[in-house]
Chains A and B, each alone.
Chain A
Amino acid sequence: MRKLNEKISRRDFLKATITGLGLTTLLASPSLISKAEETSKSGLKKPKAILIDIRKCIGCKACQVACKVWNKLPAEETTITENEYTNPTSFSANTWCYVKFSEVEDESGNVKWKMASVRCMHCLEPTCVSVCPTQALKKLPEGPVIYDPSKCIGCKYCVEACPWHVPHFDEEKKVIGKCIFCVDRINEGMVPACVANCQTGALQFGDRDEILEKAHNSGAPYIYGEKEAGGTSMIFVSDVPFEKLGFPSVPQEPISTYKSDLLKSISEVGIAAFIISLVGYFGVKMLARRKAQVKASKKEV
């Protein structure tokens, strides 16, 4: 064992320096950058989208299974809720795509099943990305919102911030999990696994502009995802209103506008409360002084 007062030889010094530099290079090397992010730099900058035609969906759940298989997500114990076939009933850290079943009554009183394949909306201006404190979540120019589990600190802020309640926390791994738009497939020129396995053409993949055009030309009276939260990469078309299908009503403005408006209102409320408190304080003081004066004058009398 080296003694504390022993001098370090030049060779030892060089060894230590090279080892240190090597470790630093290794830590900073692109190999640690998520593979998806790396491949996204290869081109394909045009934003992509998926068209989900609820009128064509038969609820076969092929998309659900394909997602699990391609992303190697483990199976989970699920429950079937009474009167519906949605199974699993929500996203989880290991369920990134599922088919939502809704029982809808038409004008003549007939009940119909409506099925919608749902996944992360991959917003154009994602709330989850804007709230992530470590930049573990990232928006790629092609559309996908991806995440790097090694950077996730498990704060769960994205879980609370997403208007569609998509990111879920994995209690075992202490990181979040969500759909990554099969970014690895997209970058290889393939379509996402869910789209590739759709049997009825209810799911279509393409450039967002084209998908939007298709949605508008589809003849469907209701479109969801075009403007919600500033626009998303999932464009749903339906012949029944989306509220009846359980889709949340989300503000149309992008998250940046939403935040700045809210911050402005917060400061306005603060100023108002401060002024009211001051007025109240001096009002009470004046009343007390007046009371004391009256008391003193009564005493004098």
Chain B
Amino acid sequence: MVHVVWGWLTALDLFLIGTAGGAAITSGAVHILGKDKYNALAEAGAYLAPLLGLASLLTVMLDLGRLPVAPMNVLYVINHLPESMISLGTVFRVAFIAVATLNAILWFFRKETLVNLVVRIICGAVNMVLGFLVTIYPGIMLSFAMGKPFWSSPVFPWVISVSGILSGLVLSALSIPIIGVLVPRLTPALLEARRTVLIHKIPEKVGSCMSALIIIELVLVFVYLNSVSGTVGATVVFTNPMVSMFFWGGFIFLGLILPLIIFVLEKLRLGLPLSVWIFILYICFILVAVCAVAARYSLLVAGQIL
């Protein structure tokens, strides 16, 4: 029996909020733990996080319908705060968007002073924690849905979370040239990255991190599918043509395996010219991001078919 009430819009919402969290984690991790030469990535992630967070809120409102009252509904959830994961998630989202916006403002108007740097680091760290919470809460929310055994696995939230971090990372890297081209004078770090060889170093570094995350994600997906092997949803993933196409063809092959193979092949010295290699890397990033939507859609639909 097909009983799909959460479709494309919900999948898009889960993707946007997960990616926003991933961008915040990328920005914070690069800024706090990374080297200064990757600051352009930290900056791009800082700008991307609140934009995607806001876009996810808009998607939720579109999904809920009754647009004139939808914003009030969000306020109602925050005011009453029952024990539901959706309420908790709404609080996480709103707090995340607020802190991510503040973080972006701090980046935009940054000064090379110690106070400014410390404030940015603290804000980035809080943003990272909130970013992690918004990447993992949709998975926990789904796994608490007792009526859908396909999602009720302790591995499922991690599949969703790692996917969010992965797409946040690649979209942050992708947005560097986009922001650089569209708003060339936006910030010195992005401008500097565009001018120098760093513009090539950053995608390569992101490529390495992406490959590591892809391996983790593949392992998690394998463990997850084993943990829910007896459920209808798992059967649907293998037998339903549309779900199989999105899951195996989109998410697993195009979104994970193909970018990983390309990266490994290059590391084994394919010897591609730098510009070609960077172009291919960006294609990989696009694949990873687009297929993360397919992942969420297929997992959502598979779980709802009874």
Residues of A within 8 A of B (CB): 89-90, 127, 130-135, 151, 153-157, 159-165, 169, 174, 229, 250-251, 255, 258-259, 262-263, 265-266, 268-270, 273, 277, 281
Which residues 52-74 of B sit at the A interface, judged by CB distance below 8 A?
Answer: 64-66, 70, 73
Contact A154 B64 (CB under 8 A): yes
Given the contacts A134-B73, A153-B77, A160-B6, A266 and B147 also touching, CB distance less than 8 Å:
no
Contact B86 A154 (CB under 8 A): no
Contact A161 B147 (CB under 8 A): yes
Contact A163 B80 (CB under 8 A): no
Q: Which residues of A contact B146 (CB under 8 A)?
A: 127, 161-163, 229, 250-251, 255, 258
Q: Considering the chains assembled together, what is the distance between the CA atoms of A126 and B83 in angstroms?
A: 13
Given the contacts A133-B90, A266-B140, A273-B158, A157 and B147 also touching, CB distance less than 8 Å:
no
User: How many residues of B sit at the interface, in one of the four size bands?
Assistant: 35 or more
Contact A269 B158 (CB under 8 A): yes
User: How far in angstroms is the closest Cβ of chain B from A262?
Assistant: 6
> Chain B 195-239, CB within 8 Å of chain A: the 1/0 string?
000000000000000001000100010000000000000000000
12 examples of A-B residue contacts, CB within 8 angstroms = A130-B83, A131-B85, A131-B145, A134-B80, A154-B64, A154-B65, A156-B6, A159-B3, A164-B147, A165-B306, A266-B154, A277-B212
Contact B147 A127 (CB under 8 A): yes
Given the contacts A132-B84, A134-B73, A229-B146, A270 and B158 also touching, CB distance less than 8 Å:
yes
Given the contacts A131-B145, A154-B66, A160 and B5 also touching, CB distance less than 8 Å:
yes
**B273 at the A interface (CB under 8 A):** no
Q: Which residues of A contact B83 (CB under 8 A)?
A: 130
Contact A268 B147 (CB under 8 A): no
Q: How many A-B residue pairs have CB under 8 A?
A: 102
Q: Considering the chains assembled together, what is the distance between the CA atoms of A269 and B223 in angstroms?
A: 10
Q: Considering the chains assembled together, what is the distance between the CA atoms of A259 and B88 in angstroms?
A: 15
Given the contacts A133-B77, A155-B86, A265-B154, A273 and B66 also touching, CB distance less than 8 Å:
no
Q: Which residues of A contact B145 (CB under 8 A)?
A: 131, 157, 160-161
Q: Which residues of B contact A134 (CB under 8 A)?
A: 73, 76-77, 80, 82, 87
User: How far in angstroms is the closest Cβ of chain A from B165?
Assistant: 12
**B262 at the A interface (CB under 8 A):** no
Q: Considering the chains assembled together, what is the distance between the CA atoms of A299 and B158 in angstroms?
A: 45
Contact B144 A259 (CB under 8 A): yes
Q: Which residues of A contact B73 (CB under 8 A)?
A: 134, 153
Q: Which residues of B contact A164 (CB under 8 A)?
A: 147
**B194 at the A interface (CB under 8 A):** no
**B172 at the A interface (CB under 8 A):** no
Q: Considering the chains assembled together, what is the distance between the CA atoms of A180 and B31 in angstroms?
A: 54
Q: Which residue of A lies closest to B306 (CB)?
A: A165
Q: Which residues of A contact B90 (CB under 8 A)?
A: 133
Contact B82 A132 (CB under 8 A): yes
Q: Which residue of A lies closest to B70 (CB)?
A: A153
Minimum-distance CB pairs A-B, first 5? A265-B154, A133-B86, A153-B73, A160-B145, A133-B84
Q: Which residue of A lies closest to B151 (CB)?
A: A160
User: How far in angstroms is the closest Cβ of chain A from B145?
Assistant: 4
Q: Which residues of B contact A255 (CB under 8 A)?
A: 146
Given the contacts A130-B84, A131-B86, A135-B82, A263 and B140 also touching, CB distance less than 8 Å:
yes
Q: Which residues of A contact B147 (CB under 8 A)?
A: 127, 159-165
**B37 at the A interface (CB under 8 A):** no
User: How far in angstroms is the closest Cβ of chain B from A79?
Assistant: 12
Q: Considering the chains assembled together, what is the distance between the CA atoms of A130 and B83 in angstroms?
A: 7
User: How far in angstroms is the closest Cβ of chain A from B5?
Assistant: 5
Q: Considering the chains assembled together, what is the distance between the CA atoms of A151 and B69 in angstroms?
A: 11
Q: Which residues of A contact B70 (CB under 8 A)?
A: 153
Given the contacts A155-B64, A269-B155, A135 and B306 also touching, CB distance less than 8 Å:
no
Q: Which residue of B lies closest to A164 (CB)?
A: B147
Q: Which residues of A contact B306 (CB under 8 A)?
A: 165
Contact B140 A157 (CB under 8 A): no
Contact B143 A266 (CB under 8 A): yes
User: How far in angstroms is the closest Cβ of chain A from B215?
Assistant: 8
Contact A133 B6 (CB under 8 A): no
Q: Which residues of B contact A251 (CB under 8 A)?
A: 146
Q: Which residue of B lies closest to A161 (CB)?
A: B145
Q: Which residues of A contact B157 (CB under 8 A)?
A: 266
